[in-house]
A and B are shown apart, each in its own frame.
Chain A
Amino acid sequence: MPSSSAISPSKARPGARKGSNTPEALLALYRQMLLIRRTEERLSQLFADGEVPGFIHLSIGQEAIAAGLGSVLERKDTIASTHRGHGHALAKGVDLNGFFQEVMGRETGVCKGRGGSMHVADMSAGMLGANGIVGAGMPIAVGSALAHQVRKTGGVGVVFFGDGALAEGVLHESLNLSALWKLPVLFVCENNGWSEFSPTSKQFVAPLGKLADAFGIPAETIDGNDVEIVADTAGRLVSEIRKGGGPRVLECITQRVRGHYEGDAQKYRDPAELKDRDKIDPLPRAASRLSVLGVSDAVLAALETEIMAEIDAATEAARAAPLPEFVAAQADVYTPAGV
């Protein structure tokens, strides 16, 4: 990022952020959130049209967490994600084209079309995978933190997980082991109030902060829909972890805007819950902050145009990309000899 106040809608790159209160930094965060939002809106459409197979879980309304974390992580850092992981992948620097091609089941997708939305992974970007198993990312991130520690990479492991995953045994095991071994790992809980069709209040009784406290792990709970707060807090916690401070817990309060999966009619949910959405939606909130900081509407409009062009191009490239071939996939279950 340039350090002058010249505003250009340049891309948010992991690690590129310098400080949340400069217009440039906030614009980079905004850009990342907008890219995730528009990408998922496109996926929603493609899913409805039958162009995305399987099922997909959208993170619309929760983009500030992915963008905020992504802005403070370096490429060498590693993340483990969830079934609702599109934003995490993009914010960690997974290529948009490879992403679309995966979710649309193409040979050229980041996972050669073998995993799809729930399994987007890109080891070269430190993205250890979305996950179809609730809670499974926690020990994986802990293990990657162990690798950072043993190999002295200076990197950190980050795990994203939902409030629903608090009830899985691996959370407790992962908190304990990471505290015991002082591992460089950040636990990021995206508390969106729902686990599938059940409200969090009917799922889990212990406040996460108290739980972390029991293991001696410092924890913070923040407004996960304020991207500046997320980026600032994450930046501080990650730098403490990088300095050898051991694990940290960050609970981000957010809101699931869409159904659990696309096609979920949400009969179990009171529509009033989403009534004042604009006040809590991280995008309009960041946009109004940008305007206070003197960023013009024209700049935001240009950003929108630029992002839509990227997404259109990625969609078309995915449509044109080849479908995977069964025989080649079948021959690729084990590492070939000599590799």
Chain B
Amino acid sequence: MAELRYVRALNQALSDAMAEDPSVIVFGEDIAAAGGPFGVTRGLLEAYGEDRVRDTPISEATIVGAAVGAAMTGLKPVVEIMFMDFVAIAMDAIVNQAAKARFMFGGQGSVPMVVRLPHGGGVSAGPQHSQCLEAWFAHIPGLKVVCPASVADAYGLMRAAIDDPDPVIMVENKALYARKEDVPDDLPAVEIGKARIARPGRDATIVTYGAALYTALEAADTLAGEGVEVEVIDLRSLQPWDEAAVLESLSRTHRLVVAHEAVEAFGIGAEIAARMADIGFDELDGPIIRVGAPFMPVPFAKTLEQGYLPDAGRVADAVRKTLA
């Protein structure tokens, strides 16, 4: 066991993958010489050289587009878009090219690439540097989407994403980079599509992912003080998501809350709620309640952003409501 930061776990995963497989290359804005704006790629240039670790100009459309081309022709690129918000510039490469190439070309090949997207608010970074846009990608057939919350999963999902033959969107919450956890020395890859029970409970299920996991766990603590035992499920993968695990938990607790930092309307939670209302209908003893950000851009001022971000109080209220 050793203490490891989330950011170091990602770094280690990149490094291990690069050491094992010379086709893995990494590029993005300020990721090589400067080690990345959040330090995720620190040391890779020194370890693996300029050929495989490249600083790019500020050209998001071409960064991701070039990753698609490289992935079609023998490399396994891992590219970084500095803030998830900037991926809007690269959407064509992801949505119309990477996601469709395998299907559209009759399965001639796949596009083994990873696009790393730091998301999330909380530091007054304002409307264009704080968004959680993962639902965009989960909506696109051909893409996989993962969002690790724990340090071990940061490592394990990065490894799995790089190994995956299809394009994977790796969503990293900026607020988690500094997070520390004790983890085993030899971290395994984590299968994409598998959720994890982060806290067992019998009275209600909260399904969540990313930084909202910790909000949900805080809510579960509060509720435990009221005699309510909440099960918290960390989805880890959003596309595909672990429908079976959620259904299994629901069949024990009969109450469901879905919580995420992203805007609630048309979000990941909407899909989970709709599926469970369908396949889990007989298990439900209360309404499925979603907790997410309000339908507005992420505001700058502290007072506004505090009001914006879903907190443990709102998650606990949602659980109380479905139990009422």
Contact = CB atoms under 8 A, between A and B. Distances in A.
A169 interface: yes
B58 to A, nearest CB: 5
Contacts of B69: none
Interface string B303-320: 110111000000000000
Nearest to A197: B34
Nearest to A205: B57
Contacts, number: 116
A55 B125 CA distance: 7
A196 to B, nearest CB: 5
Contacts of A268: 33-34
Interface string A129-157: 00111110000000000000000000000
B296 interface: yes
B303 A326 contact: yes
A119 B128 contact: yes
B95 interface: no
B231 interface: no
Nearest to B34: A197
Contact of A119 (B59, B126, B303): B126
A284 interface: no
Contacts of A203: 57-58
B126 A116 contact: yes
A284 to B, nearest CB: 31
Interface residues of B, number: 36
Contacts of A113: 299-301, 303-304
Interface string B114-142: 00000000011111110000000000000
A93 interface: no
Contact of A195 (B58, B88, B296): B58
Interface string B58-90: 111110000000000000000000000110110
Interface in A74-99: none
B307 A197 contact: no
Interface in A306-337: 323-327, 329-330, 333
A204 B55 CA distance: 12
B6 to A, nearest CB: 21
Interface string A144-178: 00000000000000000000111111000000000
B300 to A, nearest CB: 4
A206 B11 CA distance: 34
Nearest to A170: B89
A56 to B, nearest CB: 11
For chain A, give the interface size range. 35 or more
B294 A330 contact: yes
Nearest to B123: A54
B321 interface: no
A268 B42 CA distance: 13
A330 B126 CA distance: 15
Given A105-B124, A132-B129, A133-B128, A115 B300 contact: yes
Contact of A106 (B294, B301, B308): B301
A118 B58 contact: no
Contacts of A330: 294, 296, 307
A45 interface: no
A124 interface: no
Given A164-B57, A203-B58, A329 B128 contact: no
B85 A133 contact: yes
B30 interface: yes
A53 B34 contact: no
Contacts of B60: 168
Interface of A: 53-55, 105-106, 113-116, 118-119, 131-135, 164-169, 195-198, 202-204, 268, 323-327, 329-330, 333
Given A114-B301, A196-B29, 4 more contacts: A119-B128, A203-B58, A324-B299, A326-B303
28 contacts: A53-B124, A53-B302, A54-B125, A106-B301, A113-B303, A114-B297, A116-B124, A118-B126, A119-B126, A119-B300, A132-B85, A132-B129, A133-B85, A133-B86, A167-B59, A168-B89, A169-B59, A196-B29, A197-B30, A197-B33, A198-B30, A198-B55, A203-B58, A323-B303, A326-B304, A326-B306, A329-B304, A330-B296
